[in-house]
Structure 1
Amino acid sequence: MRRTSASRPEQETAILKAAAEEVALVGVGRLSMDVVARQAGVSRSTLYRRFPSRDALVTELARQTFDFAMARLQTVSVDAGPEEAAVAAFREGVRLLTGEPVMRRFLQLDGDFTATSGMFDEARLFLSSASTAMAKALRAAGATMPDKDLLAVAEVHIRLAASLVQVTTAVLDVNDDDAVTAYARSYLAPLVS
């Protein structure tokens, strides 16, 4: 049944929720506008009025997903100093990458990901934003290293978290918070000064 009485913001929210569910199930490359419209309870024409193309819908979903991730990374406690803030940020990043299915789908650098034009730029923007957010949190926690070096260390943390989540290894069980914490404390925290 179509929701004809829903306001524009309600329709957009329903469409983005349906798109997130579809991306989590089938990935970005197989996202179906027809399925999204049906799941959101809107007509196909309403979907295209709200999001003029598939790429526009995917781009907005990516923006919201990455904004959510940035908000979560900013919750890292900075009271314990820069090394502990680095451990907390890495742990939270791994939690995001293992526990948020839409985030996982967006950051998989395979055919599914690159099938949508502009998504490579979205991933680059996410990496830059996440690194900047982490560097700011580390600075607020008391890191004294030069900005350029702090940003580089933050980017290493973000890239490593994504790599460890995407390619499983016997070195670290990314689903074990204690193991992730110990790994970050041993190998990553010493990079921050």
Structure 2
Amino acid sequence: MRRTNASPTQQEAAILKAAAEEVALVGVGRMSMEVVARQAGVSRSTLYRRFPSREALITELGRQTFEFAMARLQTVAIDDGPAEAAVAAFREGVRLLTGEPVMRRFLQLDGDFTATSGMFDEARIFLVSASTAMAKALRSAGATMPDDALLAVAEMHIRLAASLVQVGSPVLDVTDDEAVAAYARTHLAPLVR
């Protein structure tokens, strides 16, 4: 292990990167602070100076992971109207849920139920944030339905994406981007008005 004399900001970035790698590999519940410190090239005391507890590190990693996801969901195309925005958002959500290992672990899509109960709270926060972000994108794309109905449809899209990713289905191959778009266009876009 090589030690670093990096700035506190650089140390935090290295710690969060190491934590993300560890979570992707073993899950939130099995993340080892010892391994994170070693991989980040910092001492345990430095790790605990930057993040006073394991929960503080997990919370920050979760916050950054979900912030990244929200930024990606907000980039959906809104110029082609609400139905196509719904397709784009569903597609991007499935991409996130299949392609981001830390996101999968936080949302327990890999069956890692050893995580702390606080992760269920994180998943709920993600669901609310993602639904809100999607509803805003759909509204910007021209959706005219009432806010509560739009939010309900956005949440349904996100819950369905998570379910399809977690439990494979012969109806949809979530690794086939075009199939995901066709599925969303046929079954989900009509829900958005």
TM-score normalized by the length of structure 1? 0.97
1:115 lines up with 2:107 in the alignment: no
Residue 174 of structure 2: aligned partner? 174
Q: 1:25 to 1:110 in 2, by over 3 A?
A: closer
Q: Distance in 1 between matches of 2:190 and 2:111?
A: 36
Residue 21 of structure 2: aligned partner? 21
Q: Distance in 1 between matches of 2:117 and 2:7?
A: 30
Residue 129 of structure 2: aligned partner? 129
Residue 82 of structure 1: aligned partner? 82
Pairwise CA RMSD: 1.2
Contact 2:109 2:165 in 1 (8 A): no
Contact 2:51 2:57 in 1 (8 A): yes
Residue 34 of structure 1: aligned partner? 34
Aligned residues: 192
Residue 143 of structure 2: aligned partner? 143
Residue 3 of structure 2: aligned partner? 2
Q: Distance in 1 between matches of 2:56 and 2:79?
A: 40
Shift of 1:120: 1.3
Matched residue type, 1:116: T
Contact 2:145 2:192 in 1 (8 A): yes
Q: Distance in 1 between matches of 2:65 and 2:22?
A: 14
Q: Distance in 2 between matches of 1:24 and 1:105?
A: 7
Deviations 1:146-183 (A, max 9, x none): 00000000000000000000000100000000100000
Runs of 4+ in 1 over 6 A off after TM superposition: none
1:45 lines up with 2:45 in the alignment: yes
TM-score normalized by the length of structure 2? 0.97
Q: 1:112 to 1:55 in 2, by over 3 A?
A: farther
Shift of 1:117: 4.0
Residue 185 of structure 2: aligned partner? 185
Unaligned segments of structure 1, at least 5 residues: none
Matched residue type, 2:136: K
